[in-house]
A = this chain, B = another copy of it.
Protein backbone atom coordinates (compact mmCIF):
# COMPACT_ATOMS: atom_id res chain seq x y z
CA UNK A 1 0.00 0.00 0.00
CA UNK A 2 1.52 3.28 -1.16
CA UNK A 3 0.54 6.71 0.10
CA UNK A 4 -1.04 7.54 -3.24
CA UNK A 5 -3.63 4.80 -2.85
CA UNK A 6 -4.49 6.00 0.63
CA UNK A 7 -4.96 9.54 -0.68
CA UNK A 8 -7.23 8.26 -3.45
CA UNK A 9 -9.32 6.33 -0.93
CA UNK A 10 -9.58 9.48 1.13
CA UNK A 11 -10.76 11.53 -1.84
CA UNK A 12 -13.44 8.96 -2.70
CA UNK A 13 -14.85 8.73 0.83
CA UNK A 14 -14.71 12.51 1.17
CA UNK A 15 -16.55 12.94 -2.13
CA UNK A 16 -19.29 10.58 -0.98
CA UNK A 17 -19.70 12.46 2.30
CA UNK A 18 -21.92 15.08 0.66
CA UNK A 19 -25.58 14.40 -0.18
CA UNK A 20 -25.56 16.66 -3.23
CA UNK A 21 -22.62 14.76 -4.71
CA UNK A 22 -24.26 11.40 -4.03
CA UNK A 23 -27.36 12.72 -5.77
CA UNK A 24 -25.27 13.76 -8.79
CA UNK A 25 -23.96 10.21 -9.03
CA UNK A 26 -27.50 8.88 -8.87
CA UNK A 27 -28.67 11.21 -11.64
CA UNK A 28 -25.78 10.19 -13.88
CA UNK A 29 -26.53 6.55 -13.17
CA UNK A 30 -30.27 6.79 -13.83
CA UNK A 31 -30.31 9.30 -16.67
CA UNK A 32 -26.94 8.80 -18.29
CA UNK A 33 -24.31 11.40 -19.24
CA UNK A 34 -25.50 15.00 -19.00
CA UNK A 35 -24.23 18.57 -19.29
CA UNK A 36 -23.84 20.67 -16.17
CA UNK A 37 -27.03 22.71 -16.50
CA UNK A 38 -29.22 19.61 -16.77
CA UNK A 39 -27.72 18.39 -13.51
CA UNK A 40 -28.00 21.79 -11.86
CA UNK A 41 -31.74 21.91 -12.56
CA UNK A 42 -32.26 19.24 -9.91
CA UNK A 43 -30.76 21.26 -7.08
CA UNK A 44 -31.70 24.32 -5.11
CA UNK A 45 -28.24 25.75 -5.61
CA UNK A 46 -26.46 28.15 -8.00
CA UNK A 47 -24.61 26.60 -10.89
CA UNK A 48 -21.08 27.54 -9.76
CA UNK A 49 -21.64 25.64 -6.52
CA UNK A 50 -22.56 22.56 -8.47
CA UNK A 51 -19.45 23.06 -10.60
CA UNK A 52 -17.40 22.80 -7.42
CA UNK A 53 -19.11 19.57 -6.48
CA UNK A 54 -18.35 18.23 -9.94
CA UNK A 55 -14.71 19.15 -9.44
CA UNK A 56 -14.59 17.14 -6.21
CA UNK A 57 -16.19 14.18 -8.00
CA UNK A 58 -13.73 14.53 -10.89
CA UNK A 59 -10.72 14.57 -8.59
CA UNK A 60 -12.04 11.46 -6.88
CA UNK A 61 -12.31 9.78 -10.28
CA UNK A 62 -16.07 9.32 -9.89
CA UNK A 63 -17.04 11.30 -12.99
CA UNK A 64 -15.34 12.27 -16.24
CA UNK A 65 -16.05 15.20 -18.49
CA UNK A 66 -16.12 15.32 -22.24
CA UNK A 67 -16.38 18.63 -24.08
CA UNK A 68 -19.02 18.94 -26.74
CA UNK A 69 -19.24 22.43 -28.18
CA UNK A 70 -19.74 24.75 -25.27
CA UNK A 71 -21.17 22.03 -23.12
CA UNK A 72 -19.29 19.63 -20.89
CA UNK A 73 -20.87 16.24 -20.67
CA UNK A 74 -20.39 14.54 -17.33
CA UNK A 75 -20.37 10.77 -17.15
CA UNK A 76 -20.37 8.35 -14.22
CA UNK A 77 -17.08 6.56 -13.53
CA UNK A 78 -17.98 3.84 -11.08
CA UNK A 79 -14.57 2.17 -10.75
CA UNK A 80 -13.67 3.91 -7.47
CA UNK A 81 -16.91 2.58 -6.01
CA UNK A 82 -15.59 -0.92 -6.59
CA UNK A 83 -12.77 -0.01 -4.24
CA UNK A 84 -15.29 1.11 -1.66
CA UNK A 85 -16.92 -2.27 -1.98
CA UNK A 86 -13.52 -3.91 -1.48
CA UNK A 87 -13.08 -1.77 1.61
CA UNK A 88 -16.45 -2.97 2.91
CA UNK A 89 -15.79 -6.62 2.30
CA UNK A 90 -13.92 -7.53 5.51
CA UNK A 91 -16.83 -6.06 7.51
CA UNK A 92 -19.44 -8.21 5.82
CA UNK A 93 -19.13 -11.18 8.14
CA UNK A 94 -19.69 -8.85 11.09
CA UNK A 95 -23.00 -7.47 9.90
CA UNK A 96 -24.11 -10.94 8.83
CA UNK A 97 -23.31 -12.31 12.28
CA UNK A 98 -25.16 -9.47 13.94
CA UNK A 99 -28.20 -9.79 11.71
CA UNK A 100 -28.15 -13.55 12.18
CA UNK A 101 -27.93 -12.99 15.95
CA UNK A 102 -31.06 -10.88 15.74
CA UNK A 103 -32.78 -13.56 13.69
CA UNK A 104 -31.86 -16.26 16.21
CA UNK A 105 -33.14 -14.07 19.01
CA UNK A 106 -36.46 -13.60 17.26
CA UNK A 107 -36.62 -17.35 16.60
CA UNK A 108 -36.34 -18.02 20.31
CA UNK A 109 -38.91 -15.38 21.31
CA UNK A 110 -42.63 -16.02 21.64
CA UNK A 111 -44.42 -13.93 19.04
CA UNK A 112 -46.09 -11.79 21.70
CA UNK A 113 -42.75 -10.50 22.95
CA UNK A 114 -41.45 -9.39 19.57
CA UNK A 115 -40.89 -5.65 19.03
Contacts and interface: CB of A to CB of B under 8 A. Distances in A.
Interface stretch (A12-20, A41-49, A65-73, A103-111): A12-20
The contact size tier of chain A is: 20 to 34
Interface string A17-51: 10100100100010000000000000000000000
A5 interface: no
Interface in A54-106: 76-79, 81-82, 84-85, 87-88, 90-92, 94-95, 98-99
B82 A29 contact: no
Which A-B residue pairs are the 9 nearest by beta carbons? A78-B94, A17-B17, A78-B95, A82-B95, A78-B91, A81-B91, A13-B17, A14-B17, A79-B95
